[in-house]
């Protein structure tokens, strides 16, 4: 518009031409050809509006409603909207609906709002059609059918927001039967109009649709990335975060940690809590950056305060372990509970365990079980397993092995490997219900397929004996080989026995003796006995009676009755040593103490058969130790060191071995002192001093059980204060 044109327009406006008046209002409102001045725009619109021009009345209403060009006046705005609406102005009719719905300048009246929306919608006003849909959907009667028709009308009129909303409803089956194809159709139309949220949702829904219809993963991933990139370019924070995850995890693209971090940073600046959480993860794990626990804490805190449950859980973990912050149980429990209240199963479990052990606040078994059961109700395998442990041990509840068996079974069904091993044990021994060896085989096999060493060994034992399954010595050996490769002591012994006898595997005495040696050096008494016997008999081609005697002495001193009898026999016949009646009497006495006789050698809890039941074996040895047997003290130390039939405890193992050495005096084998030195190196000074005191108490009382019980009770008290059950 030229200066003459503007002058001519002004002249027409001065003459009262209503269209010129309105046009001048537009020029000042938009700042076209004149300096933008909305106060002037109000003045010109007012002049045109007073002459009855509906467009001017509507524009004046908008300026009054928004407070542009002067004071905000919702009442006057509604009055001008009404005048324009009565002339049939569709936008003004829509605004009248808004005024009545929101109570802006008019009394709030949903019925009046709907009437005005309908008038505007009759003129194909898309926003009015959408407003009717929302009223029907959210109203007291919840007219879902009517609402979807109005959504469809607004969407058909090209309104991107309506296309997005109807697309989401079809895709998710929100109040209507799900129809993913229809959902994608409407989402695509909204996305093409650069509706960022529609682009983001479309990317997520495309994966579902294309996977269901068998489309190649690469095609799906490419299309998803296309729409995510479109949304991200519009500043959609969730799309930026999702792109960051794709780049971090390498979903269809090479892993690009720098670019992933860049996406997270952009999203975090937009206030996205999930992106802040991911930045914390990168810093905590050192992915693409140096490990920076302080930075991780800062990002977790920002996300946690915005309500991100995963960030709350991770922040709780930092306080729990004292990583990058001072260890603080109260802070840890507080954040775990925040995440738990949002339904995060991992946090529910951890909060429950802390309350169970009295960490962060006084022990509260009822609340602890409440949270753990909430996690279990979500099918969280770790929570199911934890409940099994609680009921099996009677921790804070009455001991109930049947209940434990139920929880272990549920956890195992969710793929929890250790739960599978536990429930297999219970089925095998008939604890908490009937004995069910086929079920034990099934669960041992499941855990064995995941590489669990105990399960492999036990499955091999059941295959060898035909317990719950047909005898299969070949498969048994295969299991033992895999377990032995993981350093499983009993598997080494079992494999050695099979190799020596050529059962299920080609006979190889040299290899058999090597496996026995590995188990023997780990303190396995039957392995020591069989290795000694093979050495004495020349099983690998040459005899070595002196080495055999050494191993029998070690085993016998540790409480192995058959080894004691073997030594008595050696000293009787004088094979490899000078015949010595005193030694014969000594070793026969030891054999008798361990339940052996000179006439027969029945199973007595420390034989090969007893090795399959470490719990009974440990009980048998404890009884002998309480009767004052030195070798039983040594054997019990081995049990606590290796976790055979008892819970592993290096401190108790050290105390028991020290007591055995003190009681044996000069007769203590050199191996015992070497073992003591090895154990000591693994303990703290405090633990060593505690072990010395316990050893002295055992000898002073001439009884072991009470000292062990006192130690365990003390540790349980400490555990409740410091360490959650795992």
Q: What confidence tens digit (pLDDT) does each residue in 342-370 have?
A: 999 999 999 999 999 999 999 999 999 99
Instruction: Point out the least confidently predicted range of 237-251, 509-523, 625-639, 654-668.
Output: 625-639
Cα–Cα distance for residue pair 304/434, rounded to 1 Å: 48
Predicted confidence at residue 671, as pLDDT, reads 63
Cα–Cα distance for residue pair 208/169, rounded to 1 Å: 15
| Secondary structure in 3-state letters for 26-53 | HHHHHCCCCCCCHHHHHHHHHHHHHCCC
Predicted confidence at residue 601, as pLDDT, reads 29
Q: Is the pLDDT at 600 greater than 60, yes or no?
A: no
- Model confidence at 118, pLDDT cuts 50, 70, 90, reads very high
Length of the chain (residues)? 726
Instruction: Point out the least confidently predicted range of 264-273, 384-393, 607-616, 665-674.
Output: 607-616
Check the CA dihedral 221-225-231-236 and report its sign: positive
- What SS3 state is found at 146? helix
Tell me which of 2.60.40.3880, 2.40.50.140, 1.25.40.10, 3.40.190.10 is the CATH number of domain 1-123: 1.25.40.10
Structure tokens at 458: 């036990």
Each residue of 122-145: pLDDT tens digit?
Answer: 999 999 999 999 999 988 888 999
Q: What is the mean pLDDT of the chain?
A: 90
Per the model's pLDDT, the better-predicted residue between 607 and 419 turns out to be 419
Predicted confidence at residue 586, as pLDDT, reads 80
Taking alpha carbons only, the member of 301, 302, 335, 303 closest to residue 317 is 335
Cα–Cα distance for residue pair 535/513, rounded to 1 Å: 8
Q: Is the pLDDT at 214 greater than 60, yes or no?
A: no
Each residue of 539-566: pLDDT tens digit?
Answer: 888 889 889 999 999 999 899 999 999 9
- Phi (first) and psi of residue 274, to 5 degrees: -65, -40
Predicted confidence at residue 717, as pLDDT, reads 57
* Residue 597: how many other CB atoms lie within 10 Å: 13
Residue 658 near residue 633 (C-beta atoms within 8 A): no
Each residue of 251-275: pLDDT tens digit?
Answer: 989 999 999 999 999 999 999 999 9
| Secondary structure in 3-state letters for 591-647 | HHHCCCCCCCCCCCCCCCHHHHCHHHHHHHHHHHHHCCCHHHHHHHHHHHHHCCCCC
C-alpha distances in Å from residue 348, one per residue of 256, 392, 393, 586:
33, 21, 21, 60
Each residue of 382-412: pLDDT tens digit?
Answer: 999 999 999 999 998 999 999 999 999 999 9
Cα–Cα distance for residue pair 426/66, rounded to 1 Å: 73
Alpha helices of 15-109 — where are they, by DSSP H? Answer: 18-30, 38-50, 54-66, 74-86, 90-102
Q: Is the pLDDT at 94 greater than 80, yes or no?
A: yes
Structure tokens at 456: 């492999």
Q: Is the pLDDT at 641 greater than 90, yes or no?
A: no
Taking alpha carbons only, the member of 259, 260, 305, 254 closest to residue 278 is 260
Cα–Cα distance for residue pair 602/590, rounded to 1 Å: 15
Residue 370 near residue 335 (C-beta atoms within 8 A): no
Q: Is the pLDDT at 602 greater than 60, yes or no?
A: no
Predicted confidence at residue 614, as pLDDT, reads 66
């Amino acid at each position: 518009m030229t200066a003459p044109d503007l002058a001519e327009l002004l002249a027409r406006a001065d003459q009262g031409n209503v269209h010129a008046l309105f046009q001048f209002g537009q020029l000042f409102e938009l700042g076209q050809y004149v300096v933008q001045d909305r106060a002037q725009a109000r003045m010109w619109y007012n002049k045109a509006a007073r002459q009855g021009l509906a467009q001017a009345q509507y524009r004046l209403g908008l300026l009054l409603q928004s407070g542009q060009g002067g004071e905000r006046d919702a009442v006057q705005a509604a009055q001008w909207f009404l005048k324009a609406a009565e002339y049939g102005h569709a936008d003004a009719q829509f605004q009248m609906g808004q005024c009545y719905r929101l109570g802006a300048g008019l009394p709030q009246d949903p019925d009046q709002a709907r009437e005005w929306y309908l008038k505007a919608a009759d003129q194909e006003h898309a926003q009015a059609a959408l407003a009717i849909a929302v009223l029907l959907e959210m109203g007291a009667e919840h007219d879902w059918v009517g609402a979807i028709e109005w959504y469809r009308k607004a969407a058909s009129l090209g309104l991107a927001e309506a296309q997005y909303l109807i697309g989401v409803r079809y895709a998710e089956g929100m109040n209507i039967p799900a129809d993913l194809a229809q959902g994608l159709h409407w989402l695509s139309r909204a996305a093409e109009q650069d509706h960022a949220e529609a682009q983001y949702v479309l990317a997520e829904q495309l994966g579902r649709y294309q996977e269901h219809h068998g489309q190649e993963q690469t095609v799906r991933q490419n299309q998803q990335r296309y729409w995510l990139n479109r949304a991200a370019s519009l500043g959609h924070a969730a799309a930026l975060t999702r792109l960051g995850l794709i780049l971090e995890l390498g979903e269809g693209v090479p892993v690009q940690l720098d670019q992933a971090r860049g996406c997270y940073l952009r999203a975090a600046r937009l206030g996205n809590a999930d992106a802040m959480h991911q930045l914390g993860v990168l810093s905590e794990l050192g992915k693409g950056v140096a490990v920076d626990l302080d930075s991780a804490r800062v990002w977790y805190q920002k996300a946690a305060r915005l309500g991100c449950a995963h960030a709350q859980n991770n922040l709780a973990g930092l306080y729990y372990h004292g990583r990058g912050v001072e260890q603080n149980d109260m802070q840890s429990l507080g954040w775990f509970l925040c995440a738990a209240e949002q339904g995060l199963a991992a946090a529910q479990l951890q909060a429950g365990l802390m309350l169970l052990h009295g960490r962060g606040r006084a022990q509260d078994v009822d609340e602890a079980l409440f949270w753990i059961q909430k996690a279990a109700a979500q099918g969280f395998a770790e929570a199911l397993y934890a409940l099994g442990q609680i009921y099996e041990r009677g921790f804070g509840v009455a001991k109930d092995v049947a209940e434990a068996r139920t929880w272990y079974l549920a956890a195992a069904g969710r793929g929890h490997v250790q739960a599978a091993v536990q429930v297999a044990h219970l089925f095998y021994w008939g604890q908490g219900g009937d004995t069910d060896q086929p079920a034990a085989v099934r669960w041992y096999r499941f855990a064995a397929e995941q590489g669990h060493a105990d399960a492999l060994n036990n499955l091999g034992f059941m295959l060898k004996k035909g317990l719950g399954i047909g005898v299969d010595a070949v498969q048994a050996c295969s299991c033992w080989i895999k377990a032995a490769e993981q350093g499983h002591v009993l598997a080494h012994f079992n494999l050695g026995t099979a190799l020596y006898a050529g059962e299920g595997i080609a006979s190889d005495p040299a290899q058999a003796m090597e496996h026995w040696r590995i188990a023997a050096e780990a303190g396995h008494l039957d392995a020591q006995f069989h290795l000694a016997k093979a050495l004495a008999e020349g099983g690998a081609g040459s005899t070595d009676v002196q080495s055999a005697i050494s191993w029998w002495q070690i085993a016998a001193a540790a409480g192995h009755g058959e080894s004691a009898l073997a030594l008595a026999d050696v000293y009787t016949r004088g094979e490899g040593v000078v015949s010595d009646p005193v030694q014969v009497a000594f070793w026969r006495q030891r054999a008798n103490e361990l339940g052996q006789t000179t006439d027969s050698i029945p199973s007595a809890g420390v034989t090969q058969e007893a090795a399959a039941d470490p719990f009974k074996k440990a009980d048998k040895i404890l009884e002998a130790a309480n009767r004052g047997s030195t070798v039983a003290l040594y054997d019990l130390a081995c049990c606590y060191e290796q976790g055979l039939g008892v819970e592993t405890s290096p401190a108790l193992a050290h105390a028991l071995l020290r007591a055995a050495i003190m009681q044996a005096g000069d007769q203590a084998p050199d191996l015992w002192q070497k073992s003591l030195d090895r154990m000591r190196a693994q303990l703290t000074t405090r633990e060593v001093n505690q072990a010395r005191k316990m050893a002295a108490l055992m000898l002073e009382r001439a009884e072991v059980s009470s000292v062990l019980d006192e130690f365990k009770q003390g540790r349980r008290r400490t555990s409740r204060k410091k360490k959650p059950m795992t």
